[in-house]
Amino acid sequence: MSNESQLQVTRKSDGPPVLLSSARSSLVARGRRDAALLAVPCNKCGERRELALAGCVCANCSDALDREWAASTATDWLVTRPWDNSVCFRVSDFVLLNTTYAQMKTYAWASNDAESRIRGFWRFRQATPEEITRLKPQWGIWSHASGARIVRPATPEEVATKKNWDWEWEIAMETDQIIRKTCEKLGIQMNEHDVPVGDAESVEQAADEIAERLRQLGWLEELAKMKREDNDALQAMDGARLLEMVLQR
């Protein structure tokens, strides 16, 4: 019998027949939905239960986290999870600033949400023995794609470090824009090694103009400090080689 066929049950009275097609279709649809949910294991416990949060966490695991942290009034959270697929047991830490418990739970603890990774990422590091025990799932996969997480409120020191990290990246990215726009104006291009390509006079003029703009913003000393510390944000810049010329002035 197809989903579209209508099964009729005739009453003994003279009333109209009862149509069961809609009820049957609803049950079939619900059965298919439940089967689909149970086909995917919870990314926390690995059990095949109905998924109650973000399409990947069962109610038992969701409730367990609520019992531990739902009453917290914290607005800054630290989320730690495995990184890469190697045996080195590295982790990545995410400090989520100005984030409620509900937001942290849904977008950082439950799933691999891209927005949370960009907004909250802080650092890679080696996992502690305790973290390895807690983060290695039952099926033995150490991967950034797994659902294994450790969460807690972030400490004041972690919050301060994350804010400073954000500030350094903001300076680096804005400096990169200044370098790019200055080079475009003067007809200077960067080769595959990010070395400025142009006549020497134009390159020197670009370095002078960039230095003056950074001096106006009060960033020269900050950038020099970041350079001495081999800062990750500077390494990500396209115009890092031209910035070296600027900092030598």
pTM for this one?
Answer: 0.73
Q: For residue 99, what is the DSSP state? A: -
**Which residues, other chains included, contact 95 with Cβ-Cβ below 8 Å and sequence gap of 6+?**
76, 77, 78, 120, 122, 154, 158, 159, 161, 162
Q: How far is Cα 69 from Cα 6, in angstroms, rounded to an integer?
A: 51
What string of pLDDT tens digits covers the 249 residues of the chain?
444 444 444 444 555 554 555 556 666 565 555 555 456 899 898 899 899 999 999 999 999 999 999 999 999 999 999 988 777 899 999 999 999 999 999 999 998 776 666 678 888 999 999 999 889 865 677 888 889 999 999 999 999 999 999 999 999 999 999 999 999 999 998 887 778 888 889 999 999 999 999 999 999 999 999 999 999 898 888 888 899 989 987
Spatial CB neighbours of 121, under 8 Å, sequence gap ≥ 6: 92, 94
